[in-house]
């Protein structure tokens, strides 16, 4: 077992983005006329095509195409090309929801420029790992997932491996400086065990960072009602995930911080963000995030809904009716809907360091 410590870190950033304090009400950009409330039909299709095109252009400019064979691994969403494109929208830096919310940053943990080895767990299409590897060309980056949907053309310091993070990890102890986990909600039966595996693989002084999303649609002004399709979505995936023994309420139940504490981590920091799901906010940054949120949810709604609906015994007719209603509601600017994002990052103590309360 190596006793090499992770490179010394900078002081942690402020745990709360001041632009959207979670207890503040987001200002609404009132539509100029009734027609602007509903972006249905060709207008919505055009908007989706435009954003999708900009993403594909970004990837082409950077010399990469995503053409790997798709696997058959289990996941709460589909792993076909449509779903992968939808996930790209939510994970591509300068275009994606997370980095827009983070002011362009890929992470919150106070990492050093000379970071040596990083693990991206649940890498999905590999977009985050690719951008991290580009940002730190001297760092070895490994992305793991249960399905081989990553591209073949990647930075030379990046490789992808097939691994199920709910099983025992195969990496040597104390071999990574940073472990990044994102969008694992609904896939993990035991979060303390997950973070314990991360703890084991991290060098002393290394950082772990967990980014997760709530399925619960909310509004500050009552425009998302209990009987709406948007509110029903949260209940659908929560009930379906319970049937397979995994939780979708990681953010709602504030699971990450106590699980990290139980795993032995210290210096735990949290960040929470109200993420609009259509461009209803007045704030330009939130409006842009809302545009991507809308496309993310409506581009391949079937990929998100079908598995959960099947677990609940829905017919395909019921699924299609629900999806149509869901899309109409998401595109209606009178629905001031958002979901919560949460990032939690923490440090593994130095070898001789006494753990301190977070």
**pLDDT tens-digit series, residues 68-96:** 332 323 444 444 454 455 445 444 433 47
Going along the chain from its start, the domains and CATH numbers come out as 30-347 (3.40.50.150)
For residue 111, give every residue at least 6 positions away whose Cβ sits within 8 Å of its Cβ, in sequence order, or none.
Answer: 9, 10, 177, 178, 207
Instruction: Give residue 316's region: left, alpha or beta (phi > 0; psi -120 to 50).
Output: alpha
Q: pTM to 2 decimals?
A: 0.80
Q: Tell me the C-alpha distance between 237 and 304, whole Å.
A: 9
Q: For the chain (length 358 residues), average pLDDT per consecutive 10?
A: 55 42 77 48 44 41 30 40 48 60 91 97 90 96 89 92 94 98 92 98 98 94 95 90 87 97 98 94 93 83 77 87 94 95 96 60
* Cα-based torsion angle of the residue sequence 231, 232, 234, 240 in order, rounded to the nearest 10 degrees: 170
pLDDT (0 to 100) of residue 7: 62
């Amino acid at each position: 077992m190596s006793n090499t410590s992770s490179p010394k870190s900078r002081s942690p950033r402020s745990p709360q983005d001041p632009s959207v304090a979670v207890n503040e009400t987001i200002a609404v950009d009132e539509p100029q006329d009734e027609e602007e409330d509903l972006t249905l039909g060709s207008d919505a299709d055009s908007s989706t095509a435009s954003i999708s095109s900009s993403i594909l252009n970004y990837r082409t400019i950077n010399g990469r195409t995503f053409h790997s064979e798709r696997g058959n691994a289990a996941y709460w969403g589909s792993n076909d090309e449509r779903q992968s494109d939808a996930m790209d929208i939510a994970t591509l830096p300068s275009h994606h929801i997370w980095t827009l919310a983070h002011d362009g940053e890929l992470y919150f943990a106070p990492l050093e420029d000379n970071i040596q080895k990083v693990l991206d767990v649940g890498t999905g299409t590999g977009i985050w790992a690719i951008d991290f590897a580009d940002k730190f060309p001297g760092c070895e980056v490994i992305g793991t997932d249960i399905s081989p949907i990553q591209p073949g053309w990647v930075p030379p310091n990046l490789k992808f491996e097939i691994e199920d993070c709910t099983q025992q990890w195969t990496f040597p102890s104390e071999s990574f400086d940073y472990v990044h986990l994102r969008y694992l909600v609904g896939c993990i039966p035991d979060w303390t065990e997950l973070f314990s595996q991360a703890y084991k693989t991290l060098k002393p002084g290394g950082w772990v960072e967990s980014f997760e999303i709530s399925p619960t649609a909310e509004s500050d002004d009552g425009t998302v009602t209990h009987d709406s399709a948007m509110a029903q979505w949260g209940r659908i995936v929560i009930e379906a995930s319970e049937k397979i023994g995994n939780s979708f309420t990681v953010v709602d139940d504030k699971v990450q911080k106590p699980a990290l504490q139980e795993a032995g981590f210290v210096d735990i920091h949290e960040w929470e963000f109200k993420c609009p799901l259509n461009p209803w906010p007045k704030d330009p940054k939130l409006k842009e995030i809302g545009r991507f949120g809308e496309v993310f949810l409506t581009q391949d709604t079937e990929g998100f809904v079908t598995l959960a609906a099947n677990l609940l015994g829905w017919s395909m007719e019921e699924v299609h009716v629900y999806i149509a209603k869901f899309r109409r509601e998401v595109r209606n600017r009178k629905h001031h809907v958002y979901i919560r994002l949460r990032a939690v990052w923490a440090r593994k103590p130095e070898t001789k360091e006494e753990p301190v309360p977070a």
